[in-house]
Structure 1
Amino acid sequence: MLLNLVLFLILLLSQCSLPSKSKKSKDPQIQIHFVSDDYEETKFIPSSLFESKDLLLILAELSRKEDPSMRFISTNRTEEIMEVNGKSNSWSEGWVVYVNEERVDGVQMKRGVRVSPNDKIEIRYEAVERVFGRPRP
């Protein structure tokens, strides 16, 4: 009788803990997809469905955690990703940020770009045109 009670309690407790585990995996997340010729990775940032976050702060936090390893250049007017996992900008190629397929330049990021789990965020290493060292839109 005692054995049946113990087994029943174990079964009951195991069933109670399952929904909480599956609930955690269904929480909305902001996804950032990094793409280059030799590197592709998606990062997931926890968020609520109704919460938007500043893209620049998200990237700064990823940089601080070195996940992936990123280097920024910051001036009074602009922000630019200079390097991701050892792949640096050059005069003809660089890291370009896209939110919902629209290019986001450093000035826009500095002013603030809000993103949520519904947004498609990609950071691609691609051909860029530079004038005096700064990428042109």
Structure 2
Amino acid sequence: MNQNLYKPRNRWIHLFLSPFVFFIIVSFLIFFGVQCTLATKSKTSKDPQIQIQFISDEYEETKSIPSSLFESKDLLLILAELSKKEDPAMRFISTNRTEEIMEVNGKSNSWSEGWVIYVNEEKIDGVQMKRGVRVSPSDKIEIRYEAVERVFGRPTS
């Protein structure tokens, strides 16, 4: 007889808990399902990126740096970050007055050739880099290995 008393009680508990547990599970799935679809949409959406193209006779490579459409960043800081990540492997020279890329992926400056930075087809020298060059996703940035004139080791314009 004791068994019959507990069975109806268990049935009532199960009857009340089942919808509650079901509601919690469904709410949990809906919430995290929405979160997952939002995360997927943000990853697949094409956010603006600053594109930097490295060009030499041996290879051509484009690097993308995430940025917002209305945000500009200092080109020197972007290049330093790429250098820090070693993607591509870069080496800078920095003095009180200038900044210069000395090597990219093992291709070094020589007396007659070197890495030259262009922003929107305008050549950027080391002094401008030191003062700060702001770039945004709308800018065309190229770093080309090309013939340069040097005086005492420093490139001339």
Pairwise TM-score range, normalised by the shorter structure: 0.7 to 0.9
* Paired-residue identity, %: 83
After superposition, where does 1:1-137 map in structure 2 within 5 Å? 13=33, 17-18=36-37, 20-24=39-43, 25-137=45-157
Larger relative contact order, structure 1 or 2 (CA cutoff 8 Å, min sep 6): 1
Shift of residue 20, structure 1, vs aligned partner:
4.0
Q: CA deviation digits over 1:49-69, x for unaligned, max 9?
A: 111000000001111111100
1:84-137 superposed Cα distances (whole Å, 9 cap, x missing partner): 000000010000000001000000000000000110000000000111100111
Structure 1 runs of 4+ aligned residues shifted over 6 Å read none
Aligned to 1:3: none
Say if 1:22 and 1:38 are closer, same or farther in 2 by CA, change over 3 A.
farther
User: Which TM-score applies when normalising by structure 1?
Assistant: 0.86
Larger Rg: 2
Inter-partner Cα distance in structure 1 for 2:83 and 2:137:
20
Q: Which runs of 5+ in 2 are unaligned?
A: 1-25
Unaligned 5+ segments in structure 1 are 1-5
Report the 3-state secondary structure (helix = DSSP H, G, I; strand = E; otherwise coil) of the residue aligned with 2:71.
coil
**Count of residue pairs brought into register by the alignment:** 129
1:40-83 superposed Cα distances (whole Å, 9 cap, x missing partner): 11111111111100000000111111110000000000000000
Point out the structure with the larger strand share.
1
RMSD over equivalenced CA pairs, Å: 1.9
Local SS of the residue matching 1:58: helix
